Amino acid sequence: MRNLAATATLAVAAVLSAPAAQADPTGTAAPQPQPLTAYDVHDPAIANLDPVLRSAVQNATSAAATEGVTMTVTSGWRSPEFQQQLLDEAVGTYGTYEAARRYVQTPDRSRHVAGAAVDIGGPGADQWMITNGPRFGLCQIYANEPWHFELSTDMFGGCPPLLPDAADTH
Ligand SMILES: [Zn+2]
């Protein structure tokens, strides 16, 4: 049986990592803009990504589309200020700094701030990317974040072992 608490935690983390593109569950917010994709190069979240990562996600997006999977980018590059805001909000959500750090990195260590990570969205996109991402050099990094990908394959196209969560990046 699926652990409901873990599922709820994942959902909260998804909202944290994707505040701009996440649908508003209460329906009270203004209409959301079109979901961002890796091809929206005018948006700073995409424009400031490592160009190699951006190309890899674009290629994966196109490949997924040929299989009927729509892949969006819920979070790409983040400013240090926005990363700090996410961390502060997570402390409020999880109660302690240590708990928050399991989901949100500090600005100086965030791979999003470095332009080296993307969070993807879209129905089935996580699973598609976990299966097919390595073909494009893209790996899931954290066991508790199936939507977070970085360029991390080795010379044989394999991905490194999953880290438990974002706190474990030493
Ligand atoms: Zn991420």
What is the 28 CA–ligand 1 centroid distance (Å)? 26
What is the 107 CA–ligand 1 centroid distance (Å)? 12
pLDDT confidence band for 166 (50 / 70 / 90): confident
* 41-78+112-170 is classed CATH 3.30.1380.10: yes
Cα separations in angstroms, 130 against 32, 45, 51, 81, 111: 27, 22, 21, 30, 18
pLDDT confidence band for 19 (50 / 70 / 90): very low
What is the 166 CA–ligand 1 centroid distance (Å)? 9
Minimal CA–CA distance to 112: which of 52, 167, 48? 48
- Residue 60's pLDDT is 98
What is the 92 CA–ligand 1 centroid distance (Å)? 19
- Residue 27's pLDDT is 54
- Residue 28's pLDDT is 60
- Residue 128's pLDDT is 98
What are the boundaries of each domain within the chain?
A: 41-78+112-170
Angle at 133 between CA 8 and CA 60, to 5 degrees: 105
Q: Would you tell me how many other CB atoms lie within 10 Å of the CB of residue 128? A: 20
pLDDT confidence band for 108 (50 / 70 / 90): very high
User: What per-residue string of b and e applies to 137-156 under the rule 16 or more CB within 10 Å gives b?
Assistant: bbbbbbebbbbbbbbbbeee
pLDDT confidence band for 25 (50 / 70 / 90): low
What is the 117 CA–ligand 1 centroid distance (Å)? 6
Mean pLDDT, rounded, for 55-84: 98
pLDDT confidence band for 34 (50 / 70 / 90): confident
- Residue 48's pLDDT is 98
What is the 44 CA–ligand 1 centroid distance (Å)? 16
Average pLDDT taken over every residue of the chain: 87
Cα separations in angstroms, 86 against 28, 41, 52, 100, 142: 21, 23, 26, 9, 18
Mean pLDDT, rounded, for 19-47: 75
